[in-house]
């Protein structure tokens, strides 16, 4: 069995729990995993992503983990300057992530995942965040992209 399918706590689970305990929102946690993989810090990116937490600024809309996953993939496939082009695999990876998320969790909405008052957040979100980060890694690897190399 692939270790990513194992339900025991691994390094990614521990890292996501650590970041959550430090007060980062789901979006920031998933994006931080991508930054960790390429050994970079980017406080400006993390600040910019904070607005996506709580289902798009606390409105309980689109799940922050999914938004973070899209940012994770964009870090590898997005256009970062005038001399770069978007990787042609970026949008297909985002579409696959969204489809996987919807199939796995049954909704894209924070309110339905965590509950209107966040009553399910403590037991749903940690697994959801870690699984989303794992799925991003898997999507990159399936396209021959080593997540530890960055772009």
Bin 150: left if φ > 0, else alpha if -120 < ψ < 50, else beta.
left
- Give domain status of residue 4, yes or no: no
Please work out, in degrees rounded to the nearest 5, the angle formed at the alpha carbon of residue 135 by the alpha carbons of 88 and 48: 70
- Chain centre distance of CA 151: 17
- Tally of domains within the chain: 1
- Give domain status of residue 100, yes or no: yes
- Give domain status of residue 149, yes or no: no
SS3 109: strand
Write out the residue range of the structural domain in which residue 77 sits.
11-142
pLDDT tens sequence for the chain (151 residues): 343 445 556 999 999 999 999 999 999 999 999 999 999 999 999 999 999 999 999 899 999 999 999 999 999 999 999 999 999 999 999 999 999 999 999 999 999 998 878 788 887 899 999 999 999 999 999 999 999 987 7
- Give domain status of residue 107, yes or no: yes
- Give domain status of residue 136, yes or no: yes
- Give domain status of residue 118, yes or no: yes
- Give domain status of residue 147, yes or no: no
- Give domain status of residue 5, yes or no: no
């Amino acid at each position: 069995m692939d270790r990513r399918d194992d339900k025991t706590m691994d390094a990614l689970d521990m890292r996501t729990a650590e970041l959550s305990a430090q007060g980062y929102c789901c979006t920031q946690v998933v994006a931080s995993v991508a930054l960790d993989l390429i050994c970079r810090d980017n406080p400006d990116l993390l600040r910019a992503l904070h607005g996506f937490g709580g289902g798009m600024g606390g409105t309980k809309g689109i799940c922050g983990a999914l938004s973070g996953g899209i940012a994770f993939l964009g870090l590898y496939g997005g256009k970062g300057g005038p001399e770069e082009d978007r990787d042609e695999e970026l949008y297909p990876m985002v579409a696959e992530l969204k489809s996987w998320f919807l199939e796995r969790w049954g909704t894209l909405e924070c309110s339905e995942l965590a509950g209107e008052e966040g009553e399910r957040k403590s037991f749903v979100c940690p697994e959801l965040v870690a699984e989303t980060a794992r799925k991003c890694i898997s999507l990159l690897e399936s396209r021959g992209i080593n997540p530890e190399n960055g772009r």
